[in-house]
């Protein structure tokens, strides 16, 4: 009789101590000097990936358990260069907007830093990830934090999470029932499947393009026959 | 006799009635001869004399005669690219600006001695404070299409990802350039088009749970 009671007590205590983390990742915007003359011009507005991530916060906060927390990771270099181009201090705006939702951005400068931030062991300092959402540029093979920023129409290697890099993300950093979503374009065409194979957790991704132009949460581009896929 | 008298009278009166014959008029002052606008008489002895043109001026005009090719070049937008910009010391590559639809990159780069068949497709990464790309001086990126440059700088130790074709492309870090003008011919080679991925070794092994 004493042993089941002990187990009940142990699991209850463990569950309350083992808090989880919801991670939101915001990629960087393109430069207008690269995009201005293109037919499909990206990022007329600098804050697409900031506003969309923050639009999701209210909804996610409702589902937070005791001790759970929200972490907002922002790709810093993209906002440095776009800020220089637009002559604006975007970090001030990012931090002000985060503050309204009780969030402080954690900046990362390259993919290695992101992998470090995603490395979790379940300790109170590094709780496991129960949900991960990505807002930024992507194609079927990559997340591109730096698309059309340093180089016109592309992204440089240290600032791209390619499917070949996914083995640097461990599935043990996630809770067993963790869900991941990529709100970038074309992620559902290959990246999601490779994520599930390598990281071992399902990822929802778009087949076709996603559209941030209306503000708030991105939606699938109309008229392209797009859908969401695991 | 009756006819001779009117003919003689006509000849004598013609000298009084007809104006003197016109001489060619000098519209611009010859070099070194300032015009006198206050005199106002175009029939002065000075203005009726033939303008004296120095042989040097004639030669100058001949040299400055614009040939159609030069006129065309001067009207091209790429004529506004500076001839030299940034740090142009050290080794250089010959680059030809080429744009391929739905493909990222600046164009082709080769060494001085190599032919265009050995050229590499590159994207250019630049620091605006050191040296921007040449077309940054022009109204539109396509304005220096098929122009050649000497490009100073080095290749980056990393590559760039081209998302449309799913390939990795070389990155050139520019520090200066010299404009060489329009190329004789466009380069019609296709840029690289190999897949970016390695085989997925996790497909059979299972998830990475290290």
Interface predicted TM-score (ipTM): 0.86
| Residue B95, CA distances (Å) to A41, A114, A216, B79 in order | 27, 36, 43, 17
Mean pLDDT value of segment A103-113: 97
Q: CA-CA distance, B192 to B199, in Å (whole number)? A: 19
Residue A206, pLDDT above cutoff 50: yes
Closest residue in chain A to residue B125, using alpha carbons only? A151
B87, B88, B94, B95: CA torsion to nearest 10: 30
In whole angstroms, what separates CA A1 from the centre of its chain?
Answer: 47
Alpha helical stretches, state H, chain B: 4-17, 45-48, 55-63, 68-75, 202-205
Residues 6+ apart with CB under 8 A from A223: none
How far from each other are the two terminal CA atoms of chain B, in whole angstroms?
139
Chain A residues whose CB is inside 8 A of the B105 CB are 153-154
Residues 6+ apart with CB under 8 A from B46: none
Q: Are A127 and A138 in contact (CB under 8 A)?
A: no
Residue A191, pLDDT above cutoff 70: yes
B5, B9, B10, B11: CA torsion to nearest 10: 100
Q: CA-CA distance, B163 to B34, in Å (whole number)? A: 68
Buried b (16+ CB within 10 A) or exposed e, B70-96: eeeeeeeebbebeeebbeeeeebbbbb
Q: CA-CA distance, A144 to B29, in Å (whole number)? A: 68
Sheet containing A160-162: order of strands: A137-138, A142-144, A160-162
Q: What is the DSSP string of A110-178?
A: SHHHHHHHT---SSSSSPPEEEEEEESEE-SSEEETTTTTSSTTSEEGGGEEEGGGGGGS-GGGEEEEE
Q: Are A44 and A152 in contact (CB under 8 A)?
A: no
Residue B158, pLDDT above cutoff 70: yes
Query: Predicted confidence band at A117 (pLDDT cuts at 50, 70, 90)?
Result: very high
Residue with tokens 């994520």: A195
Note the pLDDT of residue B15. Answer: 54
Residue B141, pLDDT above cutoff 90: no
In whole angstroms, what separates CA B48 from the centre of its chain?
Answer: 44
Note the pLDDT of residue B188. Answer: 87
Query: Predicted confidence band at B41 (pLDDT cuts at 50, 70, 90)?
Result: very low
Residues 6+ apart with CB under 8 A from B141: A37, A152, B99, B135
CB contact under 8 A, A162 and B141: no
* Strand residue runs (E) in chain B: 84-86, 92-97, 107-110, 120-125, 147-162, 167-182
Note the pLDDT of residue B35. Answer: 38
Fold of B84-186: OB fold (Dihydrolipoamide Acetyltransferase, E2P) (2.40.50)
Q: Which of residues 89-148 of B touch A (CB under 8 A)?
A: 103-106, 123-125, 136, 140-142
Residues 6+ apart with CB under 8 A from B202: A166, A167, A194, A197, A198, B208
- Is the CATH number of domain A19-229 3.40.50? yes
Identify which of B177, B4, B11 has the alpha carbon closest to the alpha carbon of residue B97.
B177
Q: Which of A33, A156, A172 sits opposite B158 (nearest CB)?
A: A156
Note the pLDDT of residue A62. Answer: 87
Chain A residues whose CB is inside 8 A of the B191 CB are none
Chain B residues whose CB is inside 8 A of the A142 CB are 161, 163
Query: Predicted confidence band at A17 (pLDDT cuts at 50, 70, 90)?
Result: low
Note the pLDDT of residue A99. Answer: 96
Residue B28, pLDDT above cutoff 70: no
Mean pLDDT value of segment A184-194: 93
Q: Are B120 and B132 in contact (CB under 8 A)?
A: no
Length of chain A counted residue by residue: 230
pLDDT above 70 coverage of chain A, percent? 90
Q: Break chain A into its structural domains and give their ranges.
A: 19-229
CB contact under 8 A, A199 and B207: yes
CB contact under 8 A, A151 and B210: no
Residue B200 contacts A, CB cutoff 8 Å? yes
Mutation for B interface: A152, A162, A173, most B CBs within 10 A: A152
């Amino acid at each position: 009789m004493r042993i089941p009671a002990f187990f009940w007590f142990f699991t209850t205590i463990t569950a309350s101590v083992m808090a989880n983390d919801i991670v939101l990742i915001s990629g960087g915007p393109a430069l207008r000097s690269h995009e201005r003359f293109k037919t499909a011009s990206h990022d007329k507005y600098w804050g697409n990936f900031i506003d969309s991530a923050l639009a999701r916060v209210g909804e996610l906060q409702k589902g937070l358990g005791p001790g759970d927390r929200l972490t907002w990771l922002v790709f810093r270099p993209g906002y440095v260069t776009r800020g220089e181009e637009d002559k604006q201090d975007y970090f001030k705006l990012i931090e002000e907007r985060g503050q309204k939702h009780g969030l402080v951005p954690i900046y990362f400068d390259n993919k290695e830093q992101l992998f470090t931030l995603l490395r979790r062991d379940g300790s109170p300092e590094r709780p496991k990830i129960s949900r991960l959402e990505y807002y930024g540029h992507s194609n079927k093979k990559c997340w591109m934090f730096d698309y059309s920023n340093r180089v016109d129409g592309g992204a440089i290697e240290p600032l791209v999470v390619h499917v070949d890099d996914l083995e640097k993300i461990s599935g043990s950093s996630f809770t067993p029932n963790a869900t991941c979503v990529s709100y970038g374009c074309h992620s559902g065409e290959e990246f999601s499947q490779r994520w599930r194979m390598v990281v071992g957790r399902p990822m929802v991704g778009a087949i076709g393009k996603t559209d941030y132009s209306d503000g708030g949460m991105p939606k699938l581009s109309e008229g392209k026959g797009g859908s969401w896929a695991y | 006799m009756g006819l001779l008298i009117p003919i003689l009278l006509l000849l004598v009166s013609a000298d009084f009635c007809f104006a003197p014959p016109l001489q060619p008029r000098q519209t611009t002052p010859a070099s070194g001869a300032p015009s006198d606008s206050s005199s106002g008489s175009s029939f002065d002895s000075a203005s009726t004399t033939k303008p004296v043109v120095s042989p040097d001026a004639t030669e100058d005009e001949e040299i400055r005669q614009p040939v159609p090719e030069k006129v065309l070049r001067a009207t091209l937008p790429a004529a506004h690219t500076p001839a030299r910009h940034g740090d142009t010391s050290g080794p250089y590559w010959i680059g030809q600006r080429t744009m391929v639809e739905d493909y990222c990159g600046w164009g082709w780069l080769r060494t001085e001695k190599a032919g265009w068949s050995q050229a590499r497709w590159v994207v250019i990464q630049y620091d605006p404070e050191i040296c921007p790309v040449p077309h940054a001086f022009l109204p539109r990126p396509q304005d220096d299409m098929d122009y050649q440059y000497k490009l100073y700088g080095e290749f980056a130790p990393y590559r760039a990802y081209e998302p449309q074709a799913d390939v990795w492309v070389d990155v050139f870090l520019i520090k200066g350039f010299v404009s060489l003008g329009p190329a004789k011919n466009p380069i019609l080679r296709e840029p690289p088009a190999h897949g970016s991925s390695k085989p997925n070794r996790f497909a059979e092994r299972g998830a990475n749970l290290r």
